[in-house]
Chain A
Amino acid sequence: MNMNVSFGGLSLKNPVMTASGTFGFGLEFAPYGDLTKLGGIVVKGMSLKPREGNPMPRIAETPCGMLNAIGIQNPGVENFIRQALPVLPWKEVAVVANLYACDAEEFGELADILAGEEGIAALEVNVSCPNVKEGGIAFGQDPKQICKVTEAVKKKAGNKPVMVKLSPNVTDITICARAAAEGGADSLSLINTLSGMAVDIHNRKPRIANVIAGLSGPAIKPVALRCVHQVVQAVDIPVVGIGGIASAEDALEFILVGAHAVQVGTANFLRPDFSFDLVDELEKLLEEIGAGSLEEFRGSLELPL
């Protein structure tokens, strides 16, 4: 079956992407599979300057999920371009840069730097990281800010497609989706982590040093699916589904509600070859269920009248 997908200025050999923050710069997973087999790799969120991230502990396991508050620890955009990008097989797999900044101007600067990089297929804008006290949360929850940041990135992105990653921690995600579309986003990816918390009754302390953390994993899949469903109905730009995908069936559920592609996040921790295997399993399952093509299946959810 033809697994190619083209949407929002991106052309992928299959709809399986890896989600930012769960796949490093991709190279960490090279021993476990062929990176060029993937549809796309969204690399770890990067900022203008290197960031040390949050104090430890940063992660906690929860039922069918996990909490994290890493705090966008990253070597900065220049080090990424110098060190990681040249060794990534970007000619054969779409490498998507994930941008993190604290104001629209900084987002613009990041886009400006990355726009000139041949190895970058698209820019994903992180307006929704709930882990970082300074910034992220305000953008993700304020439609005006989402629009403004999207415009700022779009203005400097040159010919790079811009994907805006939405937070589910809002009253109505379709308002945020429309704001990003209005700002000129070529596509949307959703959802980022759900805001959560875990505490320890024995030592009476939070299990995560940042106290508030982002919940991910299969536990959030129903929320993610609902968000993708609503956003697909609300905007005309393509949507990439993210949230708890841990099997080919999960991935197809997002495509059934209308996603053009999916991003695998926490499941990369189940085993490091998970995403590579998913590429094969997705095609197999599509054939098994008798879908004519990926395109025919996409968005073919039959809703009650």
Chain B
Amino acid sequence: MSLRNCRNVKVLEVSPVGQLKRPDEFFEIKLEYPDWDGWKPGQFVMIRPAGWELDLLWARPFSICSADGDTLTLFVQKVGRGTGRIVALKPGDTVSIWGPLGNSFAMEPEIPTLLLAGGIGIAPFCGYVEQHPHPENLRLFLAHRLSLDCYPFAALSERVEGVCMRDDQPEDLQKIIAVMKEQIVEYAAKDGLILSCGPTPFMKTVQRFAAECGVRAQVSLENRMACGVGACLGCVTKDGSGHHVQVCTRGPVFWADKVEL
């Protein structure tokens, strides 16, 4: 690894995604490319605006969506004070960035692969689809709460088979779970691979059905982090043998049968 891969970069653009109902929750952030040697889908970065000075202290972790050599793109959901201040950044503002961090999703080009995304959990799959040599072997399933245009689903489903379901009415959740199960059963039958990212209950569902069907599945965790480099031990999860391991360095992607959610 090269030295000094914590850098200051400029914000290029911050734009809201999805204008229909909640124009203030999802944002696409473009940053100057931090001159990495490379990165893999599933990895993440830590971002801390220089303007934060001493409050807030922690950088925030985000999945890498895409990076084309000039621009690094992230999807940010405004959920609290930190993300609120990140989406309020203006072009030209400086942020510290370190990464790419963590491991990445398994990529087996010839194997039918099901991407299961819960809401903003779609973010790492943007890069995955982009880098996959055989996108025809991919299917993306998105369970979403807000209107579809809040998520980069349309662009992705131009390249891969896309299925989406909205969690809007009380009865929707059970329907979504039923469809998830159907799909996991289908991919188990064809000895496929399942990758998932989303809220913990979503991934627990994936973990449970994958175990029942005996299909290989990975989950990507997004625990709260302070350092992102494995030092603070604030983001740990339990591995398959009940030991605490850092999500930032041993994950964020784990095989579903080797992690406690």
Contact = CB atoms under 8 A, between A and B. Distances in A.
B204 to A, nearest CB: 15
A104 B56 CA distance: 39
B152 to A, nearest CB: 29
B229 A272 contact: yes
A61 B60 CA distance: 12
Given A44-B233, A64-B55, A218-B57, 10 more contacts: A28-B230, A28-B231, A31-B5, A33-B3, A56-B237, A61-B82, A70-B233, A217-B54, A217-B57, A272-B227
A299 interface: no
Given A28-B231, A31-B1, A269-B227, A53 B244 contact: yes
Q: For the complex, would chain B's binding face be called helix, strand, loop or mixed by DSSP majority? A: loop
Interface string B1-22: 1111110000000000000000
Contact of A63 (B55, B229, B236, B244): B55
A24 B230 contact: yes
Contacts of B4: 32-33, 273
Interface of B: 1-6, 48, 54-59, 82, 96, 98, 223-224, 226-234, 236-237, 242-244, 249
A266 B4 CA distance: 19
B201 to A, nearest CB: 15
Contact of B59 (A23, A52, A271): A271
Decide if the interface of chain A is mainly helix, strand, loop or mixed.
loop
Given A269-B57, A269-B58, A73 B233 contact: yes
A31 B2 contact: yes
A36 interface: no
Give the interface centre of A29, A64, A272, A273 by most chain B CB atoms within 10 Å: A272
A206 to B, nearest CB: 15
A116 to B, nearest CB: 27
Contacts of A22: 227, 231-232
Most buried by B among A32, A70, A270: A270
Interface in A202-255: 217-218, 246
The 6 closest A-B pairs by CB, nearest first: A59-B234, A24-B231, A31-B1, A269-B226, A218-B54, A28-B231
A58 interface: yes
Q: Which of B6, B56, B230, B243 has the most CB of A within 10 A?
A: B6
Nearest to A34: B3
Contacts of A268: 227, 231
A158 interface: no
A59 B57 contact: no
Given A22-B231, A31-B1, A273 B6 contact: yes
A140 B103 CA distance: 40
A271 B231 CA distance: 12
A149 B124 CA distance: 50
A218 B3 CA distance: 27
Contact of B54 (A28, A30, A246, A272): A246
Nearest to B248: A28
Contacts of B227: 22, 28, 268-269, 272
Contact of B236 (A30, A56, A64): A56
Interface in A45-90: 52-53, 56-59, 61, 63-66, 68, 70, 73
A52 B2 contact: no
B244 A32 contact: no
Contacts of B224: 57, 59
Contacts of B1: 30-31
A133 B228 CA distance: 27
Nearest to A57: B224
Contacts of B96: 270-271
Contact of B57 (A28, A34, A66): A66
Nearest to B234: A59
